[in-house]
Amino acid sequence: MKKIVITGMGAITPVGNNVNEYWNNITNGVSGIDIIKTFDPGELAVQVAGEIKNFNPSDYLPKDLIRKTDPFMQYAYIAAEEAMKQSNLEITDPQRTGIVMGTAMAGIATIAFTQEALSGASHKKVGPRFIPKILGNIAAANIAIDYNIQGPSFTVSTACSSGGDAINTACMCIETGKADVMLALGAESVLCPLVIYSLANAKALSRNNDNPKSASRPFDVSRDGFVIGEGGGALVLETEEHALARGAKILGVVKGCGNTCDAHHVTAPHPEGKGAIACMTQAIKEAGISPSEIGYINAHGTATNKGDLVESSAIKKVFGDCLPYVSSTKGATGHMMGAGGITEVITCVKAIETGIIPPTINLNEVDPECAGIDFVANSAKKADITCAMSNAFGFGGQNSSIIVSKY
């Protein structure tokens, strides 16, 4: 098995528009959740979200690119730029360099707002860039064009595990010899009334509009649903041999990846957590380690009733007497869907690098059915760890687990 290393990371999130800002705020317990500013949410039952802040796309992107891209594409592009810059990668063999994009709902907000403008209006409200602006794969295409990436190109859409599965797919491309370097991306921006109405009517979202900073409460007994977040994340992955040959600084190692399906229900997790258990077990087996070697898990932890209960139970069954620290950073960022699968792996890399376990904020009273795990409530902890796992579970029974380690 080839050793696959991480040489670049990029992130744009509700608590920071680069990796360092994100990490500093996430470890200091800063919340990025507030009343929605993108549009007037006054008539909606749910009015809170984790939006990107202090963001002007023209500070990052040329005007022509802004005009022809959805916000989720812009977030992917910005995260990719940061990761590529940190990696100091010069693409000398374009056909041996690939890209995988993960997104759950691609350009759905653009679709919704365009349809709203079109209703009762003329066809001129639909611009010629509409189709490429909403397609999930065009995010990867724009980045590939700019960086001359001519190797494998995939866009995966596995709901909220899309980002983790983008990493897994990228690793498979390297493992099978299709590429030496892969850029793994995740991005999401779904904030529009259409999505909020649907999720609110499904009773999936928190309605704590009066206290937005504490609306997302993973594993807390008073949790009442998740909070939508948006953002982007990127990783540069390459073989150890390739990284060393070009003198790259190695930030961490992708030790193992898991992917399973519950085959149970389109929205609810398997009540016994069978898919989640199998996914974590698969990743541990591929990593060639024992569960006791994992010191931290960045949980999927969305603050939904069933989701938190099932994930807690599954972690206990997999890890038994060697339970690691567990935290959910979604208390601070909200649920960034496809983007979260990447940014939460970045969280694991930074936890290993710094010896800091980020907290689960807004966790004041652990649900008794989740108890028995140290969820690092409200304040970060110091811990010397060498391996960490990131879980991402999505609609359709999709499960992703990624294990990273110190190099």
Q: Give me the catalytic one of 279, 335, 348, 387.
A: 335
Question: Is 160 known to be catalytic?
Answer: yes
How far apart (Å, rounded) are the C-alpha atoms in residues 106 and 195? 12
Q: Is 62 exposed, middle or buried (0-12, 13-18, 19+ CB in 10 A)?
A: exposed
> What does the DSSP assignment read for 296-312?
EEE----S-HHHHHHHH
Q: Give me the catalytic one of 171, 173, 279, 300.
A: 300
What are the C-alpha distances in Å from 338 to residues 104, 221, 277, 405? 5, 26, 21, 22
Question: Is 300 known to be catalytic?
Answer: yes
Question: Is 192 known to be catalytic?
Answer: no
How far apart (Å, rounded) are the C-alpha atoms in residues 19 and 24? 9
Handedness of CA 127, 129, 131, 135 (dihedral sign): negative
- Each as own residue / partner, the long-range contacts of residues 278-283 (CB below 8 Å, 24 or more positions apart, any chain) are 278/399, 279/391, 279/399, 279/400, 279/401, 280/314, 280/315, 280/318, 280/389, 280/391, 280/401, 281/318, 282/256, 282/258, 282/401, 283/256, 283/257, 283/258, 283/389, 283/401, 283/402, 283/403
The first and second tokens of residue 287, run together, are 């990593």
How far apart (Å, rounded) are the C-alpha atoms in residues 263 and 181? 33
From 29, 30, 24, 1, select the one nearest 11 (Cα to Cα). Answer: 24
Q: What is the SS3 assignment for 141?
A: helix
- CB-CB contact of 51 with 230 (8 Å): yes
How far apart (Å, rounded) are the C-alpha atoms in residues 343 and 21? 12
How far apart (Å, rounded) are the C-alpha atoms in residues 36 and 109? 14
CA torsion 343→348→350→353, rounded to 10°? Answer: -160
Q: Which residues are catalytic?
A: 160, 300, 335
